[in-house]
Structure 1
Amino acid sequence: MFTAATVDGFPSEDCLYLNIFVPLDVDFSSHVKNLLPVMVWIHGGDFIAGTASKSLYDGRFFSNFTHTVVVSIEYRLGKELFFTEAIND
């Protein structure tokens, strides 16, 4: 899962990630492909707080228990470079 990174000691601008969890019993080497349901989860927080990388939101258990592909999105929070065109009004 995503963890915060730094480049040369400064916070990285690299902030958009997809965490993809696939059930353990999926055989990628098989020629027969069985389709699985996909659940996409976007954490809330009003662009101020929140993260998809907390252990509480780890999709491995849900993916294995429900035989579902789980996708969570990690995205930028706060105002830095976000809707910056509104600042120039």
Structure 2
Amino acid sequence: MSRFNQLVAGGILLFLSGFLYTLERIALYIRWYAEISTGNWLEKPTFVDPFLQNWFVTLFLFAAIPFFLAAMNVTQKTSPSENPTDS
């Protein structure tokens, strides 16, 4: 896998993790605002932790890390003779 492909895969996984986290937060706030509009709401909104409730957020986040680390490792293995632009 090339460095570019590893960076793209890591970026996509990181984006998916953040996107799912954001969607869950939006859904929780919509539910809380709906409870407020009816006049029956709890004094403190009950927000769950998406990292513990939705394993996909955590999975995508931790799956992105090895891709970024592997992409950085590829740059360290490149010798100057293979990359003439690094003079």
Q: Which is higher, the Rg of structure 1 or of structure 2?
A: 2
* Fold shared per TM-score above 0.5: no
Greater helix content: 2
| TM-score using structure 2 length | 0.30
* Structure with the larger RCO, 1 or 2 (CA within 8 Å, 6+ apart): 2
